[in-house]
Structure 1
Amino acid sequence: MFYVNSEVGALRQVVLHEPGLDFERLTPGNKDALLFDDVVWVSRAQQEHREFQQLLQDRGVTVHLLHNLLAEAVKADEAAEFVLDRILHDRQPHMGAALAQETRKVLGAMGPSELATHLLGGLNKRELVEALGERRSGGGSLGLDLLADHDFVLPPVPNSLFTRDTSCWVYDGVAVNPMMMAGRRHETVNYEAVYNFHPMFAESGAHRWIDGEAMAPAAIEGGDIAVIGDGTVLVGLGERTTPAGVEILAHRMFQAGSALRVIAVQLPKARALMHLDTVMTMVDRDAFTLYSGLDRDALRSWTLTPGTRRPVEAVENKDLFAEIGAALGLDAVRVLQTRQDPYSAEREQWNDGCNLLAVSPGTVIAYEVNENSNRMLEDNGVEVLRIKGDQLGRGRGGPRCMSCPIERDAA
Structure 2
Amino acid sequence: MNKNEPLHIYSEIGQLETVIVKRPGYEVENLTPNTLKRLLFDDIPYLPAIQREHDAFTDRLRERGTEVLYLEQLLSETLDDSIVRHQFLDQLITESQADLSCSRQTLTEYLSSFPVPEMVEKIMGGVRKSEISEERKTNLYELMEDHHPFYLDPMPNLYFTRDPACVMGNGIAINTMAEPARKRESMFMDYIMKHHPSFEGNAPVWYERNAPYSIEGGDQLVLNEQTIAIGVSARTTPQAIEQLASNLFADRPTFTRIVAIEIPKSRAFMHLDTVFTMVDHAQFTIHPAIQGPDGRMRIYLIEADQDEPGKVTIKERHHLIDTLKEVLVLPEVNLIPCGGGDEIASAREQWNDGSNTLAIAPGVVVTYDRNYVSNRCLREAGIEVIEVPSSELSRGRGGPRCMSMPIRRSSV
TM value normalised by structure 2: 0.93
Report the count of equivalent residues: 401
Corresponding letter in the other structure for 1:142 = Y
Equivalent-residue separation in structure 1 for 2:301 and 2:125 (angstroms) = 40
Tell me the equivalent position of 1:291.
287
Equivalent-residue separation in structure 2 for 1:189 and 1:144 (angstroms) = 30
Matches within 5 A, 1:1-40: 1=5, 2-40=7-45
Q: Out of 351-360 and 115-124, give the one that drifted further.
A: 115-124
Q: Please, which of 58, 68, 78 is the counterpart of residue 63 of structure 1?
A: 68
Equivalent-residue separation in structure 1 for 2:370 and 2:218 (angstroms) = 21
Tell me the equivalent position of 1:119.
123
Matches within 5 A, 1:204-353: 205-212=202-209, 214-215=210-211, 217-258=212-253, 259-295=255-291, 297-307=295-305, 308=307, 311-337=311-337, 338-353=339-354
Equivalent-residue separation in structure 2 for 1:154 and 1:380 (angstroms) = 47
Equivalent-residue separation in structure 1 for 2:234 and 2:101 (angstroms) = 34
Equivalent-residue separation in structure 1 for 2:113 and 2:388 (angstroms) = 40
Corresponding letter in the other structure for 2:127 = L
Equivalent-residue separation in structure 1 for 2:320 and 2:143 (angstroms) = 53
Change (3 A) 1:360 1:98: closer
Superposition deviation, residue 330 in structure 1: 1.1
Change (3 A) 1:93 1:363: closer
TM value normalised by structure 1: 0.93
Query: SS of the counterpart of 1:164?
Result: coil
Equivalent-residue separation in structure 1 for 2:101 and 2:181 (angstroms) = 21
Q: Given that residues 29 and 44 in structure 2 are in contact (C-alpha distance below 8 angstroms), is that contact kept between their aligned partners in structure 1? A: no
Matched, 1:158 2:156: yes
Superposition deviation, residue 16 in structure 1: 0.5
Tell me the equivalent position of 1:380.
381
Q: Given that residues 19 and 405 in structure 2 are in contact (C-alpha distance below 8 angstroms), is that contact kept between their aligned partners in structure 1? A: yes
Superposition deviation, residue 144 in structure 1: 5.0
Corresponding letter in the other structure for 1:365 = V
Tell me the equivalent position of 1:389.
390
Corresponding letter in the other structure for 1:34 = L
Task: Summarize deviations over 1:51-83 as a string: whole Å, max 9, x none.
Answer: 001000000000001111111111112321232
Corresponding letter in the other structure for 2:112 = G
Tell me the equivalent position of 2:190.
192
Q: Given that residues 297 and 318 in structure 2 are in contact (C-alpha distance below 8 angstroms), is that contact kept between their aligned partners in structure 1? A: no
Q: Given that residues 278 and 352 in structure 1 are in contact (C-alpha distance below 8 angstroms), is that contact kept between their aligned partners in structure 2? A: yes
Q: Out of 289-298 and 8-17, give the one that drifted further.
A: 289-298
Superposition deviation, residue 113 in structure 1: 0.4
Matches within 5 A, 1:389-408: 389-408=390-409
Identical counterparts, % of pairs: 35
Alignment RMSD, CA only?
1.8
Equivalent-residue separation in structure 2 for 1:405 and 1:302 (angstroms) = 26
Q: Please, which of 96, 99, 108 is the counterpart of residue 95 of structure 1?
A: 99
Q: Given that residues 36 and 394 in structure 1 are in contact (C-alpha distance below 8 angstroms), is that contact kept between their aligned partners in structure 2? A: yes
Equivalent-residue separation in structure 1 for 2:341 and 2:176 (angstroms) = 37
Task: Summarize deviations over 1:286-306 as a string: whole Å, max 9, x none.
Answer: 111101223272221001012
Structure 1 or 2: more helix by fraction: 1
Tell me the equivalent position of 2:410.
409
Superposition deviation, residue 98 in structure 1: 5.7
Matched, 1:53 2:55: no
Task: Summarize deviations over 1:10-62 as a string: whole Å, max 9, x none.
Answer: 00000000011211211222121111110011100000000001000000000
Q: Which runs of 5+ in 2 are unaligned?
A: none
Q: Given that residues 98 and 152 in structure 2 are in contact (C-alpha distance below 8 angstroms), is that contact kept between their aligned partners in structure 1? A: no
Superposition deviation, residue 249 in structure 1: 1.2
Tell me the equivalent position of 1:172.
170
Query: SS of the counterpart of 2:215?
Result: coil
Q: Which runs of 5+ in 1 are unaligned?
A: none
